[in-house]
Amino acid sequence: MRYNLRRKLSNERHTMSQEEIEVEAIGIEVSSQPIELYKVLKIANAVSGGGEAKMAISEGYVAVNGELEQRKRRKMYDGDLVEFNEEYYVVLCDQPVQEPSDEPVKKKAEKPAAKKPQSQKANNKGNKPKKSAPKKANKGGKNKPSEPKAVNSADQSTGRKLMSF
């Protein structure tokens, strides 16, 4: 879909001039907002991948709302105009703005608390092999009478098992 948009031009002093231009822009529909600038370029198929999008942005080939933009992760909202490679793209989203809230941080804080019992279990598991390690040593002591069988399969000077090809 193409959209005709009117926007005011800004001059070097960042004041709005009275001159308006009309541009034809391709509508990029996104499922949530804000969305990062490089993702808009990817969704628009203006670039082949995220790396190329980030490179184009950082090298100054992308303008947002009439101003050069070099932040790859700039937040884009419904109605923002992106100019890249002599094409115009307008961000379209019918969902409300979803700003990151403090709740995910609280969830992250809860997760380590939940992991502490698991880490205690891990410590218990870590203790179990330590307990079994002496058992293995005891088993090794029990196996000493059966070492003549091991002598046939291991080198006596190094204790390494023989390999046959």
> How many helices (DSSP H) and strands (DSSP E) are in the chain?
4, 8
In a domain, 32, yes or no: yes
Query: Does residue 109 belong to any structural domain of this protein?
Result: no
The CA dihedral of 139, 145, 151, 154, to the nearest 10 degrees, is 0
Output the domain CATH number for residue 57: 3.10.290.10
Please give the tally of structural domains in the chain. 1
Q: Which residues pair with 134 in a beta bridge?
A: none
Q: Is residue 41 part of a domain?
A: yes
* Predicted local distance difference test score (pLDDT) of residue 145: 52
Asked if the structure places residue 163 within a domain, the reply is no
Tokens of 47: 């670039």
- What six digits make up the tokens of 91? 């961000």
122 within domain boundaries: no
**pLDDT at residue 148, as a whole number:** 47
What pLDDT shows up at residue 57? 93
- The residue to which tokens 């046939």 are assigned: 152
| Res 111: pLDDT | 56
Residue 18's Cα: distance from chain center in Å?
A: 43
Question: What was the pLDDT predicted at 151?
Answer: 44
Nearest partner of 36 among 60, 2, 69, 67, judged by Cα = 69
In a domain, 34, yes or no: yes
Burial (Cβ within 10 Å: 0-12, 13-18, ≥19) of residue 110:
exposed
* Separation between Cα atoms, residue 35 and residue 47, nearest integer Å: 16
Query: What pLDDT does 94 receive?
Result: 86
pTM above 0.85, yes or no: no
Ranges of the chain whose pLDDT falls below 50: 8-14, 16, 147-151
Give the range of the structural domain holding residue 20, as residue numbers without chain letter. Answer: 2-92
Angle at 73 between CA 51 and CA 87, to 5 degrees: 70
- In order of 36, 72, 125, the CA distances from 76 in angstroms are 6, 11, 48
65 touches 77 (CB < 8 A)? no
Residue 101 located in a structural domain? no
The whole-number pLDDT of residue 39 equals 92
Please give the pLDDT value at position 59: 93
- Give the separation between CA 165 and CA 93, rounded to whole angstroms: 67
